[in-house]
Amino acid sequence: MERSSDVPVTTGHPSWVSAATGPVDPAQVNNYDAFAEAYSAETENNIMNAYWARPAIMALAGDVAGRRILDVGCGSGPLAAALRERGAVVTATDLSAGMLALARRRLGDDADLRIVDLRDPLPFDDGAFDDVVASLVLHYLKDWGPALAEIRRVLRTGGRLIMSVNHPYVEHVGQPPPRPSYFSTTSYTDEWTFDGKSHPMTFWRRPLHAMIDAFEAAGFRVAVLDEPQVDPAARELFPDEYPDYEGKVGFLAFVLEALEPGE
C-alpha cells in the first residue's frame, strides 16, 4: 500500500493484514467463523485492539454502572467483559457463531448472547437499552440506514450509541492509485492471514459527512466526535511497533444521543 509520508495516518498494520490481490469468493467474505479462535488470540492483547480501539470505546462510555448495554458485533466478548466489570448489565450479539462461542467461554453460561445480523431487525423491545456499543462494526455494512434505525429503536430516548469505525481518510489514502473519490462510498478488500490461510475481508468506506447524514436520518445527534490516540502505555510494551502508531489517526469514534422522535 502506498502512503503519503507527510500525512499523519497510521503506518502500522498487523502482519496478518494485507491488500487483497486476487479474485474473492463472496461466500467467504467476512467469514469470522473460519478464523475465530486465531483472531481472538491475536487481538486479545495487541496494540491496535487492546491499546487503541477498545480503550477508546471504554473512555467514551465512562461510568456505566447499572446501565443496560447492548454490545453489537461483540466478537469474543472483550468489551462486553470490560463493561460488565464496570457494573453494566450487558447483552451481546454477533453474526459469527464461532465468535459467540468464545464470548460465552469468556462471559459464562448465564450471559445473554445472541446471533444477530445487523442487516436484520434486532430481537429486542423498543427502548430496551440505555447504551449500544458498536466497536469497529458498521464499516462492514454498505447501507447504515436500517442498522442505525434499529439501534435507535432499541435505545431509550436520551440513550447513547457509542461506536467506532476505521477512519475514512486513513482508508482513502491507504488505497493504491488511482483512488476513488474521498466523497464517494466505496468498498475495499483486505486479506487476513492466520495459520497460513488467507481470508477476504471487505469494508465500506464513506466520507464523514455521509456518516453524519446517516446518524441524523436515524434520529441521533452527535454528542462527541473523537479521533482517539493509542494508549501511551503501549510504548513500553510494544517498543518496535509504537512509533508507527504514536500521534497517528486510525479510527473515528462517536457518542451519539438518541433524540425524541421528531426532534
Residues 6+ apart with CB under 8 A from 134: 72, 73, 151, 161, 162, 163, 164
What's the structural domain count of the chain?
Answer: 1
Q: pTM for the whole thing? A: 0.94
Flag whether 211 is in a domain: yes
| CATH number, position 142 | 3.40.50.150
Structure confidence at residue 176 (pLDDT) = 83
Q: What is the pLDDT of residue 261?
A: 85
Of 111, 220, 246, residue with least CA distance to 160: 220
Q: Is position 12 within any domain?
A: no
In a domain, 82, yes or no: yes
What the block records as the C-alpha cell of 201 is: 475481508
pLDDT tens digits for 206-261? 999 999 999 999 999 999 999 999 999 999 999 999 999 999 999 999 999 999 98
Give the contacts of 178 (CB within 8 A, at least 6 positions apart): none
CA-wise closest residue to 152 among 113, 122, 119: 122
The closest alpha carbon to 159, from 238, 74, 64, belongs to 64
Would residue 5 count as lying in a domain? no
Give tens-digit pLDDT for 137-193.
999 999 999 999 999 999 999 999 999 999 999 999 988 888 999 999 999 999 999
Q: Is 145 among the domain residues?
A: yes
Q: Classify residue 107: in a domain, yes or no.
A: yes
Would you say residue 263 has pLDDT above 80? no
Cell readout for 42 is 491475536
37 in any annotated domain: yes
The yes-or-no verdict on residue 50 having pLDDT over 80 is: yes
Q: Give the model's confidence band at 10: pLDDT under 50 very low, under 70 low, under 90 confident, else very high.
A: low
Alpha carbons 163 and 140: distance in angstroms, whole number: 13
Q: Domain span at residue 151? A: 33-167+206-258
Structural domain includes residue 20: no
